[in-house]
Amino acid sequence: MLKKVDHLGIAVRSLEAALAFYRDAAGLAVAHVEEVPDQRVKVAMIPVGDTRIELLEPTDPESPVAKSIESRGEGLHHVAFLVDDIEAALAQLAATGVRLIDATPRQGAGGARIAFVHPKSSFGVLYELCQR
Ligand code: ZN
Protein backbone atom coordinates (compact mmCIF):
# COMPACT_ATOMS: atom_id res chain seq x y z
CA MET A 1 0.00 0.00 0.00
CA LEU A 2 2.99 2.35 0.48
CA LYS A 3 4.55 3.15 -2.92
CA LYS A 4 7.59 5.22 -1.97
CA VAL A 5 8.79 8.04 0.24
CA ASP A 6 7.04 10.99 -1.40
CA HIS A 7 8.74 13.68 0.62
CA LEU A 8 10.43 14.60 3.90
CA GLY A 9 8.75 17.43 5.79
CA ILE A 10 11.26 19.77 7.45
CA ALA A 11 10.04 22.39 9.94
CA VAL A 12 11.85 25.72 9.70
CA ARG A 13 11.30 29.13 11.25
CA SER A 14 11.95 30.92 7.96
CA LEU A 15 11.83 29.59 4.40
CA GLU A 16 14.13 32.36 3.24
CA ALA A 17 16.74 31.49 5.87
CA ALA A 18 16.46 27.75 5.11
CA LEU A 19 16.86 28.36 1.36
CA ALA A 20 20.33 29.73 2.05
CA PHE A 21 21.22 26.09 2.75
CA TYR A 22 18.94 24.09 0.43
CA ARG A 23 19.09 26.37 -2.61
CA ASP A 24 22.23 28.45 -2.31
CA ALA A 25 24.65 26.03 -0.60
CA ALA A 26 23.27 22.62 -1.69
CA GLY A 27 22.32 23.85 -5.17
CA LEU A 28 18.76 22.45 -5.17
CA ALA A 29 15.98 24.16 -7.13
CA VAL A 30 12.65 25.13 -5.56
CA ALA A 31 9.78 23.72 -7.65
CA HIS A 32 7.12 25.90 -6.06
CA VAL A 33 6.09 27.80 -2.95
CA GLU A 34 2.53 27.88 -1.66
CA GLU A 35 0.48 28.55 1.45
CA VAL A 36 -1.54 25.67 2.86
CA PRO A 37 -4.20 27.39 4.99
CA ASP A 38 -5.48 24.10 6.44
CA GLN A 39 -2.11 23.47 8.12
CA ARG A 40 -1.21 27.15 8.59
CA VAL A 41 2.13 26.80 6.84
CA LYS A 42 3.99 28.18 3.87
CA VAL A 43 5.57 25.33 1.93
CA ALA A 44 8.56 25.22 -0.42
CA MET A 45 8.81 22.00 -2.45
CA ILE A 46 12.33 21.01 -3.46
CA PRO A 47 12.75 17.95 -5.71
CA VAL A 48 15.75 15.69 -4.98
CA GLY A 49 15.97 12.75 -7.36
CA ASP A 50 12.55 11.06 -7.30
CA THR A 51 11.62 12.38 -3.87
CA ARG A 52 11.29 15.86 -2.41
CA ILE A 53 12.11 18.03 0.57
CA GLU A 54 9.05 19.92 1.86
CA LEU A 55 10.12 22.96 3.88
CA LEU A 56 7.40 24.08 6.28
CA GLU A 57 7.32 27.60 7.71
CA PRO A 58 4.48 28.24 10.17
CA THR A 59 2.17 31.17 9.34
CA ASP A 60 0.50 31.08 12.76
CA PRO A 61 2.26 30.70 16.15
CA GLU A 62 -0.54 28.34 17.26
CA SER A 63 -0.17 25.97 14.30
CA PRO A 64 1.05 22.39 14.83
CA VAL A 65 4.33 23.09 12.99
CA ALA A 66 4.99 26.19 15.13
CA LYS A 67 4.37 24.14 18.27
CA SER A 68 6.70 21.43 17.00
CA ILE A 69 9.48 23.99 16.46
CA GLU A 70 8.80 25.43 19.91
CA SER A 71 9.14 22.06 21.64
CA ARG A 72 11.67 20.20 19.47
CA GLY A 73 13.36 22.91 17.43
CA GLU A 74 13.72 23.04 13.66
CA GLY A 75 14.36 19.84 11.71
CA LEU A 76 12.68 16.67 10.46
CA HIS A 77 8.94 16.98 11.08
CA HIS A 78 7.41 14.09 9.13
CA VAL A 79 8.02 11.43 6.49
CA ALA A 80 5.38 11.13 3.77
CA PHE A 81 4.51 7.91 1.93
CA LEU A 82 2.82 7.99 -1.45
CA VAL A 83 -0.31 5.81 -1.64
CA ASP A 84 -2.72 5.05 -4.50
CA ASP A 85 -5.84 4.90 -2.35
CA ILE A 86 -5.65 6.92 0.86
CA GLU A 87 -9.05 5.76 2.17
CA ALA A 88 -8.03 2.10 1.78
CA ALA A 89 -4.66 2.76 3.45
CA LEU A 90 -6.33 4.53 6.40
CA ALA A 91 -8.90 1.74 6.72
CA GLN A 92 -6.17 -0.92 6.78
CA LEU A 93 -4.17 0.94 9.44
CA ALA A 94 -7.25 1.60 11.58
CA ALA A 95 -8.34 -2.04 11.29
CA THR A 96 -5.03 -3.15 12.79
CA GLY A 97 -5.38 -0.75 15.73
CA VAL A 98 -3.08 2.02 14.50
CA ARG A 99 -3.94 5.41 15.96
CA LEU A 100 -4.60 8.05 13.30
CA ILE A 101 -4.44 11.83 13.63
CA ASP A 102 -6.68 12.14 10.56
CA ALA A 103 -9.36 9.48 10.17
CA THR A 104 -10.35 11.13 6.88
CA PRO A 105 -8.03 12.82 4.36
CA ARG A 106 -7.56 16.57 4.17
CA GLN A 107 -6.05 19.00 1.67
CA GLY A 108 -2.26 19.18 1.52
CA ALA A 109 0.29 21.05 -0.57
CA GLY A 110 0.12 20.71 -4.35
CA GLY A 111 -3.53 19.58 -4.29
CA ALA A 112 -2.59 16.28 -2.62
CA ARG A 113 -4.94 14.50 -0.22
CA ILE A 114 -3.10 13.76 3.00
CA ALA A 115 -3.59 12.18 6.44
CA PHE A 116 -1.27 11.80 9.40
CA VAL A 117 -0.61 8.70 11.51
CA HIS A 118 -0.11 9.29 15.23
CA PRO A 119 3.59 8.91 16.16
CA LYS A 120 2.56 6.96 19.28
CA SER A 121 1.54 4.17 16.89
CA SER A 122 4.59 4.46 14.63
CA PHE A 123 7.46 4.40 17.09
CA GLY A 124 8.02 8.12 17.33
CA VAL A 125 7.84 9.01 13.64
CA LEU A 126 5.08 11.30 12.35
CA TYR A 127 4.03 9.65 9.06
CA GLU A 128 1.93 11.30 6.42
CA LEU A 129 0.01 9.37 3.77
CA CYS A 130 -0.19 11.30 0.54
CA GLN A 131 -2.32 10.64 -2.56
CA ARG A 132 -1.83 12.70 -5.73
ZN1 ZN B 1 4.17 16.63 4.03
What digits encode the pLDDT tens for the residues 106-116?
998 888 999 99
Which domain does 46 fall in, by range? 2-131
Count of domains observed in the chain: 1
Give the CATH number of the domain where residue 50 resides. 3.10.180.10
State the average pLDDT over residues 94-99: 97
> For residue 58, how far is its CA from the centre of ligand 1 (angstroms)?
13
Q: Which secondary structure element, helix H or strand E, spans residue 43, and what is its range?
A: strand 41-48
Conformation bin of residue 73: beta by default, left when phi > 0, alpha when psi is -120 to 50: left
pLDDT grade for 35, boundaries at 50, 70 and 90: very high
Does residue 41 register a pLDDT over 90? yes
The pLDDT of residue 38? 86
> For residue 62, how far is its CA from the centre of ligand 1 (angstroms)?
18
> For residue 96, how far is its CA from the centre of ligand 1 (angstroms)?
24
> For residue 4, how far is its CA from the centre of ligand 1 (angstroms)?
13
The pLDDT of residue 110? 85
State the average pLDDT over residues 29-39: 94
Does residue 57 register a pLDDT over 90? yes
